[in-house]
Structure 1
């Protein structure tokens, strides 16, 4: 069910609202960025995301194909969301960090479906052999 959540970084400087159906699925990946940051994402279309702070409160990190922007708080350094354009996943997207949602109960988080992606081997549709560390 589509629901509006509020999210923020650790210090609260970066804030957003997002309309997302978390029960439709979240994702974790074993690429070097996601595995090192323990990223837990959910993708939405840009119109479902509302940044509630100045974009200048964030830093931008890109790597690889440069198709995604990883947005970090300039103060606390937490990766709260990202955005970009990848044709294979439907074009423009915003990926929220599920762990940064402020108003979601632990019971809801524990019940969310997770798709594990083998990004380390560019085999995104398939799960890696080992997922327990993600």
Structure 2
């Protein structure tokens, strides 16, 4: 299924193709503050609809995950990194997808603080 997503103001917009069968809530120092619910998909399943230059990126700790956000409204619609096997992944913020019933999405909790 194809989903549309964006930040609040629409400056960072994308499409993502896949089966949304769950999301992850992480308690690491950044995820806890953002409140994101992340859905991980191969990076080639996410297509930016706006230029990359319209988003800002934040990295911290080991600098392996690029946390993308809108410099205008501040919303974090997705991030990028690699899985343990080296495959490029996108971490899509389910809260930024259009037409999603968040109550129907199963959420797994991840102890990111323990890393």
- With the length of structure 2 as denominator, give the TM-score of the two structures: 0.94
Higher relative contact order (CA 8 A, sep 6+): 2
Query: Paired residues, what number?
Result: 115
- In 1, the alpha carbon distance for the partners of 2:61 and 2:90 equals 18
Match of 2:35 in 1: 38
Between Structure 1 and Structure 2, the one with more helix by share is 1
- In 1, the alpha carbon distance for the partners of 2:35 and 2:87 equals 24
The Cα RMSD (Å) is 1.2
Partner of 1:56, secondary structure, is: helix
Match of 1:112 in 2: 105
| Deviation per residue, 1:3-25 (Å, 9 max, x gap) | 110001000111000012112x2
- In 1, the alpha carbon distance for the partners of 2:77 and 2:10 equals 10
Contact 1:46 1:93 in 2 (8 A): yes
Determine which structure has more spread, i.e. the larger CA radius of gyration.
Answer: 1
Partner of 1:79, secondary structure, is: coil
